[in-house]
């Protein structure tokens, strides 16, 4: 892995903030606030932070901040149209495709996975492993669609040796991932514990393929990406798109950020014929595109372009609210979600390289962060979240003032 040190310096304050045109989104009112930039100023000044995009949205009013560089080596400003790997945020896209089929009556969350993938009929649980000797017992509980989509199926995070195969999107077709997973002992009785698993989500995508008779990525494009106008979201970015991607950086607080050529979990080249779609992690996108997806969730199934992807009740019942047993915490279908929905509850997802987006459908609020960081980026993320808190507080105070304007008593 090649690395290159670079110094950002104070010039980022002038050159690094993208132009209004490239960092603007149509159809929203500009909040004219700068909470994100203010929150991260010290990291930009020191060179610890190469660049970031933050979007805070509150019922039609939006702060859109493109701070610093997509590539600080060439001082290329970061923009809403730069491509990036969203990693585990891909899971929510799989969740929506499952929800579509549930809504259409083509499957139930409580259907046995073996109804669609017969290899999962008999599963074995690894009860112990002493000195390399494993004790296996036959699983008693039936593995369901719900379980593979909410990480309670007992599957590991990834298939063995997946990094040796090239990472998330260079393994094998989804149906082959599922077949391989079925042959490996699971860690616990399905439905009794929670363990985060890319494999489980890929099994969900393989089920979509069986039900629809189409490749999962084709169904996703047909029913979600194209209707929402997400023309720049793909598992196979073009060379031109990759030339304008947000570069990956290693963040070490107190030191200059380092450019990284690639991560072992996502190895180059990114768009050759050895790349397969991965529902657990693997979809490339842009902030402009990702906003269309999450605003659709915030609007309870309707995109900002007026196209309905899902019915309101579907979003409320199986995406915005947990589908797990209550004792196992909050998670729905490829999305982090509250155990019980409420006015102050958010749902959404994050990615391995510190991308994240969450929405509150009750208040029509959204918070998006797009970066490509490895290492110690937690404090930068925390700063951007603090900026969001100030933004939403400020909007609430404005709303309170507006509510009393013109009142006599």
Q: Which residues contact 382 (CB under 8 A, 6 or more apart)?
A: none
- Within 10 A of 66 (CB to CB), how many other CB atoms are there? 28
**Core vs surface per residue 237-274: b (16+ CB within 10 A) or e:** beeebeeebbbbbbbeeeebbbbbeebebbbeebbeee
- Contact present, 111 and 98 (Cβ < 8 Å): no
Question: Is there a contact between 23 and 66 (Cβ–Cβ < 8 Å)?
Answer: yes
Mean residue pLDDT of the chain comes to: 90
For residue 205, the SS3 value is helix
Give the pLDDT score at 399: 55
Residue pair 6/72 in contact (Cβ under 8 Å)? The answer is: yes
pLDDT of residue 162: 77
What's the whole-number mean pLDDT along residues 277-283? Answer: 94
More confident residue, 284 or 9: 284
Query: What percent of the chain lies above the pLDDT cut of 90?
Result: 79
Question: Is pLDDT above 60 for 242?
Answer: yes
Residue 215's Cα: distance from chain center in Å? Answer: 21
pLDDT band at 358 (very low <50, low <70, confident <90, very high): very high
Q: Examine the pLDDT at 166 and tell me if it is beyond 80.
A: no
Q: Does residue 14 have a pLDDT over 50?
A: no
Crossing angle of helices 198-212 and 90-103, in 10° steps, is 40
- Express each pLDDT in 118-131 by its tens digit: 999 999 999 877 77
The SS3 call for residue 212 is helix
Model pLDDT for residues 31-81, shown as the tens digit of each residue: 999 999 999 999 999 999 999 999 999 999 999 999 999 998 899 999 999
Sign of the CA dihedral running 321, 385, 198, 276: positive
Other Cβ atoms within 10 Å of 111 Cβ, number? 17
The answer to whether residue 221 scores a pLDDT higher than 80 is yes
Residue 23's pLDDT is: 81
* Residue 169, pLDDT score: 65
- Cβ contact 222:187 at 8 Å: no
Contact 231, 241 (CB under 8 A): no
Domains of the chain by start residue, with CATH = 3-89+237-324+336-404 (3.40.710.10), 92-217 (3.40.710.10)
Mean pLDDT value of segment 334-339: 98
What is the distance between the alpha carbons of residues 352 and 276, in angstroms, rounded to a whole number?
Answer: 19
Alpha-carbon span 392 to 394, nearest angstrom: 5
Neighbouring residues of 83: CB distance < 8 A, sequence distance ≥ 6: 232, 237, 241, 242, 244, 245, 246, 284, 285, 286
Q: Do β-strands 29-30 and 61-71 pair in parallel, antiparallel, or remain unpaired?
A: parallel
| pLDDT range class, residue 397, cuts 50, 70, 90 | confident
Distance CA 18, CA 382 (A): 22
How many Å apart are CA 82 and CA 66, to the nearest integer?
11
Quote the pLDDT of residue 132: 75
The answer to whether 56 touches 24, Cβ cutoff 8 Å, is: no
The stretch 90-106 carries a mean pLDDT of: 98
């Amino acid at each position: 892995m090649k690395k290159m040190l670079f110094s950002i310096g104070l010039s980022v304050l002038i050159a690094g903030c993208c132009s209004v045109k490239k960092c603007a989104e149509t159809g929203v009112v500009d909040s004219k606030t700068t909470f994100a930039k203010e929150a991260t100023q010290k990291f930009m000044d020191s060179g610890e932070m190469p660049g970031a995009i933050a979007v805070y949205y509150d019922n039609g009013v939006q702060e859109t901040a493109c701070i610093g560089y997509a590539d600080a080596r060439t001082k290329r400003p970061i923009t809403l149209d730069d491509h990036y790997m969203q990693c585990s945020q891909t899971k929510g896209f799989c969740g929506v495709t499952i929800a579509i089929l549930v809504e259409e009556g083509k499957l139930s969350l409580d259907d046995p996975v073996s109804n669609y993938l017969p290899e999962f009929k008999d599963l074995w649980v690894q009860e112990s492993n002493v000195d390399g000797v494993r004790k296996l017992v036959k699983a008693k509980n039936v593995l369901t669609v719900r379980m593979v989509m909410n990480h309670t199926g007992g599957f590991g995070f990834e298939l063995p040796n997946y990094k040796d195969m090239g990472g998330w999107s260079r393994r094998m077709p989804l149906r082959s991932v599922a077949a391989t997973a079925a042959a490996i002992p699971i860690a616990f009785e399905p439905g009794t514990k929670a363990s985060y698993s890319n494999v489980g989500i890929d099994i969900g995508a393989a089920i979509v393929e069986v039900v629809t008779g189409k490749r999962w990525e084709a169904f996703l494009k047909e029913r979600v990406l194209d209707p929402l106008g997400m023309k720049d979201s793909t598992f196979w970015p073009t060379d031109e798109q990759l030339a304008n991607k947000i570069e990956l950086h290693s963040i070490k607080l107190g030191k200059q950020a380092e450019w990284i050529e690639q991560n072992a979990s996502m190895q180059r080249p990114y768009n050759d014929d050895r790349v397969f779609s991965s529902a657990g992690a693997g979809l490339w996108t842009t902030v402009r595109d990702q906003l269309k997806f999450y605003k659709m969730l915030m609007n309870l199934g309707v995109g900002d372009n007026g196209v309905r992807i899902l019915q309101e009740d579907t979003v409320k019942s199986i995406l915005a609210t947990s589908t797990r047993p209550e004792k196992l915490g909050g998670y729905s279908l490829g999305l982090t979600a509250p155990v019980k929905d409420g006015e102050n509850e958010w749902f959404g997802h994050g990615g391995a390289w510190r991308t994240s987006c969450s929405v509150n459908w009750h208040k029509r609020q959204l918070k998006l962060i797009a970066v490509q960081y490895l290492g110690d980026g937690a404090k930068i993320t925390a700063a951007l979240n603090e900026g969001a808190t100030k933004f939403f507080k400020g909007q609430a105070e404005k709303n309170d003032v507006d509510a009393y304007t013109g009142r006599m008593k």
